[in-house]
């Protein structure tokens, strides 16, 4: 059978993930130190696991509402109010999803019609571009630059907008760069959007992980932006719950109703035990002022400084990443491409990092270093990187 | 009250007491002199008391027995429990003494080379102290987790080597 004839051309045309390619190389290498991981090295706090186990013992193994458990939605509503000053009604403005990833997919499918354009900062998380294509749209990358601290600028956004622009994906704090957008920068973006019909898909999965004093500002909290924003978030990064696949989407009810239509026909509901674990995560956080989260943030912050100062000491340009858990140094000085650098570094020193261009052309000449790794491993990896760079 | 820098220093040293001042400076973004000053203050204030290594003696081929002893005492007028606690913690065999709420008063942790040695200590020295009403000795059979560190069992990094 000629499978090419039966498979969707649109889907087949999406290039394979650069991450996947590098994973295949890195997983061959025994005993490598991996700084290529996009998830916390902390384990899920046992209290959350215990809540899920207890829910199983209680026999809570049935479907929940399509929207998710009401107690979880109420907890999310309270959490967003307390932590990020945004108000969403637990009835009809919050939906529990299978990770924030599902949120990206259903938000795009709810909005995009063939030929519609969706603007995405470049570099950015690997799923946006394929998600846009799967939904039948066209991805319009807006380059971001180290000299702007990898922020999306109003000027470059303006240049990318056309009459076909349907949405803007706004993923800050950013994976892979670690860039954040401060309130004043968001105001400038908001100024461009006011008076348009462009919907903002704000992927705020790293919202809790910001450093250097200033807390993350939710895009929906910028005056006038709530009505056009779909806020996506989840439990993976802030609560170390990646494998649970617990996320949520928040939006004005007219938008969320359509997203829920897709969700109810394709997913039904997010897994029930995970919803109990997530409810417990927020309950404990509200009780102890998010002490677990703050402890993780302090730990990440120390590792972040360690990695950034090590990169700079070895002569690499590295802008100050104030969010997520990635550093994104430039390796242009070495004369190598990102792919060459990461492959040679892995082979010579057994340390896995990810080529910046796996996240879009804007990542060329950079590598992504995840500092979600134990401190002693990071120190050893930076020592090896220093040796590798100085030997070039 | 400790400052944000001091809190960071405490967490770093709690994880690895051998972390150099230079590295702490890199991890906190504070100048080395400021780190040194903060550590000195923490030491003077007895917030950092000492820098011992955490050793899993079970893995070492030396005889080492640990016991946890519940001690009921009658408090003394004007002294409360402090005087009797002091009489107990002065012994070198005793590694920790805590005043407890609940069914007994003092919890005494002690180390010795053998069951016999510890038993002798309890019967001859501890029980015979004035004001000690009774003792109950529990020997430690196996240590699973100490001071937040899991000593054995399934651990390690189970994440994918590279993920987006």
- CA distance linking residue A159 with residue A142, whole number of Å: 9
Q: What pLDDT score was predicted for residue A301?
A: 97
Average pLDDT over every residue of A263-282: 98
Task: Give A63-80 pLDDT, tens digit per residue.
Answer: 999 999 999 999 999 999
Residue in the block written with tokens 């009505």: A227
- Average pLDDT over every residue of B124-152: 91
Q: Go through A239-261 and write b for each residue having 16 or more CB atoms within 10 A of its CB, e for each that does not.
A: bbbbebbbbbbbbbeebbebbbe
Shortest distance between the Cα of A303 and any Cα of chain B, in A, equals 6
Q: Which of B129, B63, B58 is nearest to B91 (CA)?
A: B129
Banded model confidence at residue A245, pLDDT cuts 50, 70, 90: very high
Q: Which positions in chain A touch B11 (Cβ < 8 Å)?
A: 295, 298-299, 302
Query: B57: pLDDT confidence band, cut at 50, 70 and 90?
Result: confident
Interchain pair A354, B162: CB under 8 A: yes
Position A283 pLDDT exceeds 90: yes
Percent of chain A scoring above 90 in pLDDT: 94
Q: What's the pLDDT at A367? A: 98
Residue B64: per-residue pLDDT: 85
In the prediction, which pLDDT does B58 show?
81
Structure tokens at A308: 């950034």
* Greater pLDDT, A190 or B163: A190
Q: What is the pLDDT of residue A99?
A: 98
- In order of their start, the domains of chain B are 4-44 (1.10.10), 57-143 (3.30.70.920)
Residue A243 near chain B (CB below 8 Å): no
Q: What pLDDT does A343 receive? A: 95
Predicted complex ipTM: 0.80
User: What is the token pair recorded at B58?
Assistant: 């079970």
Cα distance between residue A128 and residue A131, in whole Å = 5
The candidate with the shortest Cα–Cα distance to A231, out of A79, A54, A333, is A79
Confidence at B75, pLDDT banded by 50, 70, 90:
confident
From A7-21, A78-92, A339-353, the region with the lowest mean pLDDT:
A7-21
Among B8, B157, B161, beta carbon nearest to A302:
B8
Classify the C-alpha dihedral A339-A344-A349-A350 as positive or negative.
positive
Spatial distance between the Cα atoms of A240 and A242, rounded to a whole number of angstroms = 6
Contact B29 A305 (CB under 8 A): yes
What's the whole-number mean pLDDT along residues A328-339? 97
Nearest to A154 by CA among A196, A116, A186: A186
Tell me the CATH class for A46-288: alpha beta
Q: Which residues of A touch B154 (CB under 8 A)?
A: none
Mean pLDDT of A300-306: 97
Looking at chain A, how many residues does it have? 392
In this prediction, residues A270-288 reach a mean pLDDT of: 98
pLDDT score, position A194: 96
Rounded to whole angstroms, how far apart are CA atoms A88 and A85? Answer: 10
Instruction: Provide the H-helix boundaries in chain A.
Output: 3-6, 9-12, 18-26, 46-57, 70-84, 99-111, 128-134, 154-160, 183-193, 253-266, 272-287, 291-313, 338-349, 375-390
Residue A54 touches partner B, C-beta closer than 8 Å? no
Mean pLDDT of chain A: 96
pLDDT at A275: 98
CATH C-level class of A3-44+292-391: alpha beta
- Token pair, residue A190, equals 């908001």
Please give the Cα distance from A180 to A150 (Å, whole number).
8
| Confidence tier at B6 by pLDDT (50, 70, 90) | very high
Contacts of A41 (CB under 8 A, 6+ apart): A372, A373, A374, B157, B159
d(C-alpha B105, C-alpha B70), whole Å: 7
* Distinct helix (H) and strand (E) counts, chain B: 5, 6
Q: What residues of A are in contact with residue B148 (Cβ under 8 Å)?
A: none
Q: What is the pLDDT of residue A33?
A: 95
Average pLDDT over residues A166-185: 98
Residue A30 pLDDT level (bands cut at 50, 70, 90): confident
Asked if the model's pLDDT at residue B155 lies above 80, the reply is no
Q: Between the CA of residue A318 and those of A275, A376, A385, what are the distances in Å?
A: 39, 21, 14
pLDDT at B76: 85
Is the pLDDT reported for residue B152 higher than 80?
no
Q: What is the DSSP string of A137-176?
A: -EEEEEE--GGGTTPPPHHHHHHH--TTEEEEEE--SPTT
Of B7, B15, B28, which is closest to A305 when you measure between CB atoms? B28
C-alpha to C-alpha distances, A364 to A35, A78, A129, B108, B121, nearest whole angstrom: 18, 40, 17, 62, 70
Q: Quick one: pLDDT at residue B79?
A: 84
On the question of pLDDT at A176 being above 90, the answer is yes
Q: Which residues pair with B76 in a beta bridge?
A: B80
Mean pLDDT for chain B overall: 92
Which residues, including other chains, have CB under 8 Å from residue A365's CB and lie 6 or more apart? Answer: A330, A331, A332, A337, A338, A356
pLDDT score, position B161 = 87
Residue A123, both tokens: 């570099």
Q: A303 and B27 in contact by Cβ < 8 A?
A: yes
pTM of the model: 0.91
Q: Looking at residue A266, what is its pLDDT?
A: 97
Q: Does A338 touch chain B (CB under 8 A)?
A: no
Question: pLDDT digits over A198-209, tens only?
Answer: 999 999 999 999
- Distance, in Å, from the CA atom of A86 to the CA atom of A220, rounded to the nearest integer, reads 7
Separation in Å, CA of B163 to nearest CA in chain A: 5
Cα–Cα distances in Å, from A188 out to A148, A194, A227, B97? 14, 10, 17, 61
**CB–CB of A88/A94 below 8 Å?**
yes
Per residue in A122-162, pLDDT tens? 999 999 999 999 999 999 999 999 999 999 999 999 999 99
Angle subtended at Cα A374 by Cα A372 and Cα A380, rounded to the nearest 5 degrees: 110
Give the residue from A20, A292, A302, A326 with the most B CB atoms within 10 Å of its CB, the best one to mutate: A302
Q: Would you kindly state where each structural domain of chain A is located, as residue ranges?
A: 3-44+292-391, 46-288
Chain A nearest-CA residue for B11: A299
């Amino acid at each position: 059978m000629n499978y090419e004839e039966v498979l969707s051309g649109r889907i087949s045309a999406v290039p394979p993930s650069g991450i996947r390619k590098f994973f295949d190389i890195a997983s061959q290498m025994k005993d490598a130190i991996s700084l290529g991981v996009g998830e916390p090295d902390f384990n899920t706090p046992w209290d959350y696991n215990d809540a899920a186990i207890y829910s199983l013992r209680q026999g809570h193994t049935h479907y929940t509402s399509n929207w998710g458990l009401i107690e979880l939605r109420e907890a999310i509503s309270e959490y967003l109010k307390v932590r990020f000053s945004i108000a969403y009604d637990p009835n009809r403005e919050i939906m529990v999803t299978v990770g924030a990833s599902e949120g990206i997919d259903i938000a795009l499918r709810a909005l995009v019609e063939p030929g519609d354009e969706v603007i995405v900062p470049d570099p950015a998380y690997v799923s946006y571009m394929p998600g846009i294509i799967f939904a039948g749209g066209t991805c319009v990358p807006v380059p971001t630059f180290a000299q702007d601290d990898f922020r999306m600028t109003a000027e470059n956004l303006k240049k990318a907008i056309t009459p076909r622009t349907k949405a803007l994906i706004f993923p800050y704090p950013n994976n892979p760069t670690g860039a954040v957008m401060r309130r004043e920068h968001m105001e400038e973006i908001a100024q461009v959007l006011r008076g348009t019909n462009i919907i903002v898909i704000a992927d705020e999965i790293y919202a809790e992980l910001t450093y250097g004093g200033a807390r993350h500002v939710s895009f929906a909290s910028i005056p006038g932006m709530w009505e056009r924003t779909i806020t996506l978030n989840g439990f993976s990064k802030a609560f170390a719950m990646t494998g649970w696949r617990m996320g949520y989407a928040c939006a004005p009810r007219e938008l969320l109703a359509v997203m829920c239509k897709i969700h109810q026909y394709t997913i039904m509901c997010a897994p029930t035990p995970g919803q109990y674990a997530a409810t417990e995560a927020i309950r404990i956080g509200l009780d102890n002022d998010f002490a677990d989260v703050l402890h993780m943030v302090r730990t990440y912050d120390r590792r972040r400084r360690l990695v950034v100062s090590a990169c700079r000491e070895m002569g690499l340009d590295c802008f100050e990443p104030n969010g997520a858990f990635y550093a994104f140094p430039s390796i242009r000085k070495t004369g190598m491409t990102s792919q060459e650098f990461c492959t040679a570094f892995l082979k010579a020193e057994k340390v896995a990092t990810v080529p910046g261009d796996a996240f879009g052309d804007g990542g060329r000449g950079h590598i992504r270093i995840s500092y979600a790794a134990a401190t002693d491993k990071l120190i050893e990896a930076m020592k090896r990187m220093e040796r590798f760079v100085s030997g070039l | 009250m400790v400052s944000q820098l001091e809190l960071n220093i405490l967490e770093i040293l709690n994880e690895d007491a051998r972390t150099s001042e230079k590295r702490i400076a890199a991890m906190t973004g504070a100048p080395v002199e400021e780190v040194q000053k903060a550590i000195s203050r923490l030491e003077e204030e007895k917030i950092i008391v000492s820098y011992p290594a955490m050793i899993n003696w079970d893995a070492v081929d030396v005889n080492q027995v640990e016991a946890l002893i519940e001690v009921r005492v009658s408090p003394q007028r004007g002294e409360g429990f402090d005087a009797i606690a002091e009489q107990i913690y002065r012994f070198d065999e005793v590694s920790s003494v805590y005043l407890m709420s609940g069914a007994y008063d003092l919890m005494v942790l002690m180390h010795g080379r053998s069951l016999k040695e510890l038993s002798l200590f309890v019967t001859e020295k501890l029980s015979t102290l004035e004001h000690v009403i009774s003792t109950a000795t529990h020997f430690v059979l196996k240590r699973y987790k100490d001071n937040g560190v899991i000593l054995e069992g399934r651990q390690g990094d189970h994440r994918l080597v590279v993920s987006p």
